[in-house]
Structure 1
Amino acid sequence: MKRIKKVTCLLLGLSVLASSGCGGGRGDGKLTPQEMTDALFAAISANREAYTREVVDRLQYQERIMEAKEHFREEKVLPLPAQMLRMSAETISQSKDALFSYALLSQWPINKQNGPRTESEKVGLRRVAETGKSHYTEETLGGKKYFSAYYPDKGVVEACVKCHNDHPDSLRKDFRVGDVIGGIVIRVRIDE
């Protein structure tokens, strides 16, 4: 499991470098907080979509070799795409040198701990659900100032939508492919 986490973090880091042009853009080698969160989101999304389409969808639905389930450890199957995203986020959050954090949240969480906790999260999730577009803001948490970016998290394949609609703890049961199911919040510490 540690090897999977290390590989996931390595892939995420390489994806961020590739999507950010290794600091290009304005030519000064610096990214704005929004450019950084946008690059991180591109990498997170690409990794998650690749896992969803090339691993889960292929092995579960096309080749019918192995399923992805909520209780993957106990059942010895694949973790769900949302769980892979959370495991990566937890690995990053455990690093004392992390420059950012991210989380998958929803107004309609299957797991209540993944619902909005701060006013910023409530507003950000509502905005991405209403508009389907990113929302940016600054907030202070624990006395520290952060640039916070909210990105719509859409059900990209039928498996995502079916899981949410069929889950007994789901607060909403009418999702369709392409609907915003939640949001990915990325926070970057900013100095005043």
Structure 2
Amino acid sequence: MKGTGFCTGLVVGIVATVLLSQGTMSAASKEAGTAPCLPADMVADYVHSVIQADREFYSTDIVERMQLRGIVFAAENWRETSRLPLPAQFLLESGRLVAQQRNGIRFRLISNWAINKTNRPATDFERAGLTEILINPDRPHTGVTTEGGRPVFQALYPDKALSQTCVSCHNAHPNSPKKDFKPHDVMGGILLTLPLPR
């Protein structure tokens, strides 16, 4: 009987604490006149963690696994053949689909050694960021820039070679300007752009 009373008290205490904390947060946000907001760098970290998890899973558990078993292979011309998109193409296509949603969020790969020249850095922020993430590969290069007169938050995260398959493909590609990548090398960056309120 004592155990039941304790459990009941614990549940009531937890529920009361949750309700009280929600009421306090609601009152605080009403006093301030605005809803609580997350900082842009925190939102960028959250979005990047999802992108990175998808990228790692696709690269290692789909592409590499299927190729090792001889089931299906990844290729640049995946649209014309019965092959998988390369991991970089998977990320770029995902970014294209996200950009179509018109919520202002965008992401793409950039690199000083991009095989496709359209994926080379195009702005001073991108060039500085690629240099910075080579020096400090454990944190993103971030800043507020403008696009079309509107402020945006940008974060450039290091894009590391996830597998030997990535390394081999880049090192062997005839259009690759760098042919000595090793696993876990920074090959470029994932550029994430978030709209900011005016």
The bucket for the TM-score relative to the shorter chain is 0.7 to 0.9
- Pair 1:101 & 2:93 matched: no
| Structure 2 residue corresponding to 1:69, chosen from 67, 75, 81 | 75
TM-align CA RMSD = 1.3
Structure 1 residue 66 displacement after superposition: 0.8
| Structure 2 residue corresponding to 1:40, chosen from 29, 47, 67 | 47
Partner of 2:148: 142
Structure 1 CA distance for aligned equivalents of residues 113 and 104 of structure 2: 28
Partner of 1:13: none
Partner of 1:154: 160
Q: Does the 8 Å contact 2:60/2:162 carry over to 1?
A: no
Moved over 3 A (4+): none
Partner of 2:59: 52
User: Which has the larger displacement, 73-82 or 148-157?
Assistant: 73-82
Structure 1 residue 29 displacement after superposition: 5.1
Structure 1 CA distance for aligned equivalents of residues 164 and 195 of structure 2: 36
Structure 2 CA distance for aligned equivalents of residues 127 and 51 of structure 1: 27
Amino acid at match of 2:174: P
Partner of 2:121: 116
> Under a length normalisation based on structure 1, what TM-score does the superposition of the two structures give?
0.82
Q: Larger C-alpha radius of gyration, 1 or 2?
A: 2
> Under a length normalisation based on structure 2, what TM-score does the superposition of the two structures give?
0.79
Structure 1 CA distance for aligned equivalents of residues 71 and 41 of structure 2: 41
What pairs with 1:73-92 in structure 2 (closer than 5 Å)?
A: 73-92=79-98
Structure 2 CA distance for aligned equivalents of residues 189 and 141 of structure 1: 9
Identity of aligned residues (%): 38
Q: Which runs of 5+ in 2 are unaligned?
A: 1-24, 26-34
Query: How many matched pairs?
Result: 164
Amino acid at match of 1:107: N
Partner of 2:29: none
Q: Which runs of 5+ in 1 are unaligned?
A: 1-26
Structure 1 residue 141 displacement after superposition: 1.6
Structure 1 residue 144 displacement after superposition: 1.0
